[in-house]
Amino acid sequence: MPTGPKWLDAREDRAWRTFVHAHHQLRVRLERHLIQDSGLSEADYEVLAVLSECPGERASARELCDLLSWEKSRLSHQVRGMQRRGLVTREPNPDDARSCLVLLLPAGYRAIEGAAPRHVGNVRMYFIDLLTPGELDTLVAVHERILRRLADEPARDDGTAGG
């Protein structure tokens, strides 16, 4: 006889819904400030931040997809828009003819350099400063455990959760 799902009890449901809601609201708030302060979207900021930390401020499209955990089509669309705005450029990858390199342009470097201090200040105000050092350590431990579980179990292509 098949058993039904193991439903969340009130405590588990509250923990889950609070986490999801807080995560969503935090991202919305941080992106709103980012756009108002710098004109950069969260996706712009992520690409620029990653490129600014890469050797030579460049990376292959494949590396960027891996570093950002993005699909190739998402990166391609994002980079096209950022190219039109003069933040990044693409050039052939001398090590892999099937791929391109994405390079941070001076305007992109100035954009991330200008946006980062205020963005980090907002991350600190809405997140870091609300937690004790012990809570930060606990949060890291919990999220690393979640990430390990996700890495251990590949995503399914049928639209259903693993289990």
pTM: 0.85
Helices (H), 39-90: 42-53, 61-68, 72-84
Q: What is the CATH number of the domain that holds 77?
A: 1.10.10.10
Pair of tokens at residue 105 = 């342009």
The answer to the question of residue 161 being in a domain is no
The answer to the question of residue 145 being in a domain is no
**Domain region containing 64:** 27-116
The answer to the question of residue 54 being in a domain is yes
CA dist., res. 160 & res. 162, Å (int): 7
Which H helix or E strand runs over 91? strand 88-92
The answer to the question of residue 3 being in a domain is no
The answer to the question of residue 2 being in a domain is no
The answer to the question of residue 162 being in a domain is no
Q: Give φ, ψ of 93 to 5 degrees.
A: -90, 115
Residue 160: pLDDT over 80: no
> By percentage, how much of the chain surpasses pLDDT 70?
93
Are the C-beta atoms of residues 86 and 107 closer than 8 Å to each other? yes
pLDDT tens digits for range 4-32 = 899 999 999 999 999 999 999 999 999 99
Report the number of distinct structural domains present in the chain.
1
Provide the mean pLDDT of the chain: 93
* Residue 2 confidence (pLDDT): 67
The answer to the question of residue 61 being in a domain is yes
* Residue 158 confidence (pLDDT): 52
The answer to the question of residue 97 being in a domain is yes
